[in-house]
Every structure is written in structure tokens, then in C-alpha cells.
């Protein structure tokens, strides 16, 4: 029996098993086995295997990477051509795009790499179509744009979320606060700092033994489910922010557009009629959580031009800024003077670990 058949057999057993107190431990072990087989399916090794990290050969460039995923013919190529200077072949038949086509969005002084990838089909998580390559590239992105046809949105969204969930991509979720450290001896030590309703010590022991882990420290710092504990145990899950982009809104009613636009993480657009594209760019910038800071030389005014800033991630410090300017600057750093919203008063003399806000102005003084 192959891995795909084993996965299908376990999924059938889970679906026909009644969920109650008597079966929760059996279901926990089944879920652990299912996660293990899915991992083996996506990362085959040995002769003829695809190898870990198989994907399209696209070099990561710019300040951030955004990957578009969606079913064939939902408008990914048209959107790429609209937002960037790159032309991606668009046609009315499916699978027009057969490889990964990168483009660059220039927005607020940042260069954001946008990837147009082949359409995902149902069963992509099991390697159907070019699903495995698309998923490998999607895991390297900073933001996922899930492009959906507004007329078929509910069906497409549910299928795509399931395919990405099965390959370990968690959308708009936080990493579970569970600590697991394997040891050589001492057995399993299980503790929790909050009351647990989904997991208990026996369940955790059963799942650990299913993975042949007999010595470990496990600490639950929040009330997590069995699936979340398995995610932490495997350690290869990717947690990404996702924007659900509904294209072709010119083909649906105003009431339906209003309903979709009010949902969280949702944006409605029409590539054909160039509707709402500016708002989409604003949301991409917001979800990437990028900040732009400006530098200032002593005695001179700061350069506040759109191309003069340094693009950093939200939560970046003076040290990150030093590395972005020159590789030796951090070792020569003495102090910095900061104007803006991050210091308590402006200007303020700060150290290398001071966190920066959007549109701060900094002056770095070397030793």
C-alpha cells in the first residue's frame, strides 16, 4: 500500500469514527499518523524522489515576497500585469501559466516581489498537477494572495484552504505557545500554565509515543488542540498572513460585493475594469508590516524623498538599520539620534537595540 492509499485509509477511519470521550485518544493517534504520512508524501527521499524543497527556480529579491495562489483562470496573470511592468500571458483557457513568473511592485519606496504561479487543482497537496512546486514556493513567501473568482468564491476558498492546510501552511494563525524539548533520558515531563480542555497528559503521551519520542519536556502555555500540538512536534509548519482577493466583482451583485468586502482579510477587485487596485496595494503594504526610515547626516536636513528611505520589517531595531546600510557599521556603532514616534521625546539619543517606527529619522554616530 502506497503513502496516498494509507492517507486515504486514515482519513476514512477518522470520518467514520464517532467523536466522544472514549475515542479521543484513538483519534489523536490517527491524526499523528496522518500528519507523518503527509510529511513523507511532500518530502520524498531516495531514488526518484523529488527531494526536500522542490520548487520553481525563482531567486528571492526585493524587500518582501508575495505569492499568488488560486485555481486556474481566476485572474492571477492579469493581476500581475496590472500591478507590475511584467507581462504574464493571460487567456480564457485554463493552465495558461505553466511556470512561476516574478514581477516587482514599486510601492512607497519598497520593491515587493510578486509571483504569478500556475493554478492549483484539487489534490495538489498529494502532488497532482504542479501542486508540490507551487506549495514549495508559497512557503517562502511573506504574504499569500489567495485569488478567488467572486462568482465561485465559497467553493474555491474552502478547497484552497484545505489543500494548504494539508501541506503545513497555516493562514492567518499564530504559532501555538507550546514548548517541546527532546531529551536523552528522564521520560516525559508534562506541565501546563493554563487550564486545558482539548489535550491532557495521556493524549500528549500517546502522540509522543506514536512519533517514538519517549524522553521530552512539554509545556503548554495556552489551551491548544491536538492538531496544534502535532504541528509543534513536526516543527515544519509555516505560519503566513493571507489576503483573500475576490476578482471579477463586475459579474456579481452589489449586495454580494458588500458582503464579501466586509469580511476580515478580504479585498474585492476587478482586474478587467481596474477597480479597487489602489486599496489592494494599501492592504498588501499593511499586511507585510514594512516600515520605512530615513537617514540624516550631521548638520544636514534628512533625505525624505520616496526613494531615499530604508525599508525594514516591523519591529526592526537600529542594529537592523546598521546592517542594511553597511555590514561593518554595527561594529563601529556608538549611539544614534532618532526623530519620530518611536522615541519618548524627539530627538532622543538611543542605543543599538532601540525599536524603530514607520517614517522615523535616524542619525548614526560611530566610535
CA–CA separation, 115 vs 193, rounded Å?
42
Tell whether domain 290-366 is in CATH 3.30.360.10.
no
- Residue 289, pLDDT > 80, answer yes
The neighbour count for residue 90, using CB atoms within 10 Å, is: 17
Contact (CB, 8 A) for 123 and 76: no
**Whole-angstrom distance, CA of residue 354 vs CA of residue 343:** 8
pLDDT at 43: 64
Q: What is the pLDDT of residues 32-89, one digit of tens each?
A: 888 888 777 766 544 334 444 445 667 778 899 999 988 888 888 889 888 887 766 6
Q: What is the DSSP letter of 316?
A: -
Q: Are strands 143-149 and 64-69 parallel, antiparallel or unpaired?
A: parallel
Q: What is Dmax (Cα atoms) for the chain?
A: 74
Q: Where is 234: in which H helix or E strand?
A: helix 226-234
Q: State the pLDDT at residue 255.
A: 94
Specify the pLDDT at position 127. Answer: 58
How far is the CA of 309 from the CAs of 131, 157, 228, 301, 320, in angstroms? Answer: 38, 37, 40, 14, 14
Bridge partners for 145 per DSSP: 68, 243
Q: Domain boundaries in the chain?
A: 64-87+97-173+238-287, 177-223, 290-366
C-alpha separations of 141 from 9, 127, 238, 353 in Å: 33, 20, 10, 27
| Per-residue model confidence as pLDDT tens digits over 137-195 | 888 899 999 999 998 877 889 888 988 888 889 999 999 999 999 999 999 999 999 99
Query: Among the CATH numbers 3.20.20.80, 3.40.50.300, 3.30.1490.100, 3.90.700.10, which is that of 64-87+97-173+238-287?
Result: 3.40.50.300
Lowest mean pLDDT among 88-102, 154-168, 254-268, 312-326: 88-102
DSSP letters, 105-146, are: EEETTEEEEEEE-PPP-TTGGGT-TTHHHHHHHHTT-SEEEE
In sequence order, what are the residues at sequence separation of 6 or more whose Cβ sits closer than 8 angstroms to the Cβ of residue 10?
Answer: 30, 33, 34, 37
Amino acid at each position: 500500500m502506497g503513502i496516498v492509499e494509507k492517507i486515504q485509509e486514515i482519513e476514512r477511519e477518522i470520518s467514520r469514527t464517532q467523536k466522544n470521550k472514549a475515542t479521543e485518544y484513538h483519534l489523536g493517534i490517527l491524526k499523528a499518523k496522518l500528519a507523518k504520512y503527509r510529511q513523507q508524501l511532500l518530502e520524498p527521499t531516495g531514488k526518484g524522489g523529488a527531494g526536500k524543497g522542490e520548487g520553481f527556480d525563482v531567486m528571492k529579491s526585493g524587500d518582501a515576497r508575495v505569492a499568488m495562489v488560486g485555481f486556474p483562470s481566476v485572474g492571477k496573470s492579469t493581476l500581475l500585469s496590472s500591478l507590475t511592468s511584467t507581462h504574464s500571458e493571460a487567456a480564457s483557457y485554463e493552465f495558461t501559466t505553466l511556470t512561476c513568473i516574478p514581477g516587482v511592485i514599486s510601492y512607497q519606496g519598497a520593491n515587493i516581489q510578486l509571483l504569478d504561479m500556475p493554478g492549483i487543482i484539487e489534490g495538489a497537496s498529494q502532488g497532482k498537477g504542479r501542486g508540490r512546486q507551487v506549495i514549495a514556493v508559497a512557503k517562502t513567501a511573506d504574504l499569500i494572495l489567495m485569488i478567488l473568482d467572486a462568482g465561485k468564491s465559497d467553493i474555491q476558498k474552502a478547497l484552497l484552504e484545505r489543500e494548504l492546510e494539508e501541506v503545513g501552511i497555516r493562514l492567518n494563525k499564530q504559532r501555538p505557545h507550546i514548548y517541546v524539548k527532546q531529551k536523552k533520558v528522564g521520560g516525559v515531563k508534562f506541565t501546563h500554565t493554563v487550564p486545558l480542555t482539548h489535550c491532557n497528559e495521556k493524549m500528549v503521551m500517546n502522540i509522543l509515543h506514536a512519533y517514538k519520542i519517549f524522553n521530552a519536556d512539554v509545556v503548554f502555555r495556552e489551551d491548544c488542540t491536538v492538531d496544534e500540538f502535532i504541528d509543534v512536534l513536526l516543527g515544519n509548519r509555516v505560519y503566513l498572513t493571507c489576503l483573500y482577493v475576490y476578482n471579477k466583482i463586475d459579474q456579481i451583485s452589489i449586495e454580494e460585493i458588500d458582503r464579501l468586502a466586509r469580511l476580515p482579510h478580504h479585498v474585492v477587485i476587478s482586474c478587467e475594469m481596474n477597480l479597487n487596485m489602489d486599496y489592494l496595494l494599501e492592504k498588501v503594504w499593511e499586511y507585510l508590516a514594512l516600515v520605512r526610515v530615513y537617514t540624516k547626516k550631521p548638520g544636514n536636513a534628512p533625505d525624505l524623498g520616496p526613494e531615499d528611505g530604508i525599508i525594514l520589517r516591523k519591529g526592526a531595531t537600529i542594529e537592523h538599520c546598521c546592517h542594511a546600510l553597511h555590514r561593518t557599521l554595527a561594529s563601529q556603532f556608538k549611539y544614534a539620534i532618532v526623530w519620530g514616534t518611536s522615541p519618548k521625546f524627539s530627538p532622543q539619543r538611543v542605543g543599538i537595540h532601540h525599536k524603530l517606527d514607520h517614517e522615523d529619522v535616524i542619525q548614526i554616530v560611530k566610535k
